[in-house]
Structure 1
């Protein structure tokens, strides 16, 4: 079992000193990855459909700092050497496919191949409206963008035509550090599980319901098999808990391992920012060292 930290780029960690302290402490404490979130803007009024809270509302105010994930990752990559840096998630249908492919490939090359690109379709219609991009067709556009980015990362003159993305004979350089950048599909929904099985290098379900997780993982694997892919090659990252008091309950980790989860993620919000290095070191001794 591997361990990741999410919400790396929000709140106090949007500041440079705190960002570096978090990343260095996470790497030293045995976390294999540090993940960011993305919201370009937060509307002051929105339909409460946030999938991870009971009331459907984002658990912080609209003016809560959320640093741009790719810029933040590039910054902390320069101060770390082994920890992987991921997005959980980049809202892909809001983005231009070619520009995003360039940014991600550059980040991956500069970080020595440590980028994990978690992508999601998004849920906040009001944010899409502010950006003047379509909401209803975001799923197909996301699929198009994934295919286009992989074509561009080949380093060869690329042709791609599918719905919302169309180009011929273009080269995007530099290439990623390796052959490509792993794409992890985020979302706690059946469409996300289907997309992960068909297209993903990984699947990052974003909820805490173990029974629903089991259903989604089975659907992901079935889709992979039906599309001629190896389901075991899809890396599974799952939430562990949103309750600090449960961080010593290792039974949940064993249950997640039984479901086939490769990595569990913990929010930075579970740890005291004022003592983050000590808190993560203690977690390494009490939990990570046992797995």
Structure 2
């Protein structure tokens, strides 16, 4: 099993290049970062974690700018969105951003995607929360066409364009891996469009049966990465008993010195369970 890091990169914590370099210096294989374009001042949608919305949600850096900064100072680690909110993104621009990240990182981009939970945020992008699932599915299919076809064309309910040229194409073939986030409601999207399931903090006792249901639906051995894992050796050992490809430790958003100390604590936990 592999281990990586999931975090919110903001203007108040460690810089992207410093974090990328620090992860590369340790036996960790990946960096996944969250995205929110903005947070509406008037918000009806409750925070899924309960209570007040943490400040990190208000201050996230653009994921592709941040990951490109990390790419420039690393050579090994995977660089992923965890997750990109596709329902709030133009598919043609997003296809170019992911392909560009894959190019500047020499084939290390991972496109982690989700439909989002903040209804007011997506409404400000012109997205109807009631149809966001269908919208995301179409945009993902369109992005895949733009990555893999010289004269890409797409005609759907939400996305519609005649043949276009869109370069650069990604280095990875047929395209960067698409990690689909979400719970069981996302399983059909994982089965139809995903290369892996990005499970968000699902406890081990729930994850095992969910993996079986997902793989039964998909008819294949879908890889699983678990996002936001605590540094608890007992819990990690229970994940090891499942067929999980990767665990992503949740890294709090802190200044550089505190972040480096936390990364070292992750390594200490890894050494205890491997």
Compute the TM-score of the two structures, normalised by the length of structure 1: 0.85
Give runs of ≥4 in structure 1 deviating > 6 Å.
Answer: none
Aligned equivalents of 1:261, 1:70: Cα separation in 2: 26
Aligned equivalents of 1:213, 1:9: Cα separation in 2: 27
Unaligned runs of 5+ in 2: none
Q: Residue 66 in 1 paired to residue 60 in 2?
A: yes
- Which residue is 1:98 aligned to? 92
Q: 2:223 aligns with which of 222, 228, 235?
A: 235
Q: 1:150 aligns with which of 129, 144, 159?
A: 144
Compute the TM-score of the two structures, normalised by the length of structure 2: 0.90
Aligned to 2:218, what secondary structure does the other structure show?
helix
- Which residue is 2:10 aligned to? 10
Residues 190-237 of structure 1 deviation map (CA, whole Å, 9 limit, x = unaligned):
221221122210111113433333343223212211xxxx2x2x3211
C-alpha change, 1:254 and 1:286, in structure 2 (3 Å) is closer
Aligned to 1:131, what secondary structure does the other structure show?
coil
C-alpha change, 1:272 and 1:49, in structure 2 (3 Å) is same
Cα distance, 1:255 vs structure 2: 1.5
Q: 1:257 aligns with which of 218, 223, 240?
A: 240
Unaligned runs of 5+ in 1: none
Residues 23-74 of structure 1 deviation map (CA, whole Å, 9 limit, x = unaligned):
11111111111011111111233235333x244x432276x42101111111
Would the aligned equivalents of 1:92 and 1:120 in 2 still touch at CA under 8 Å? yes
- Which residue is 1:128 aligned to? 122
Aligned to 2:252, what secondary structure does the other structure show?
helix
Cα distance, 1:181 vs structure 2: 1.0
- Which residue is 2:22 aligned to? 25
Aligned equivalents of 1:285, 1:251: Cα separation in 2: 14
Q: 2:266 aligns with which of 259, 283, 289?
A: 283
Cα distance, 1:286 vs structure 2: 4.2
Would the aligned equivalents of 1:25 and 1:276 in 2 still touch at CA under 8 Å? no
C-alpha RMSD of matched pairs (Å): 2.2
Which moved further from structure 2: 281-290 or 121-130? Answer: 281-290
Would the aligned equivalents of 1:108 and 1:115 in 2 still touch at CA under 8 Å? yes
Matches within 5 A, 1:105-124: 105-124=99-118
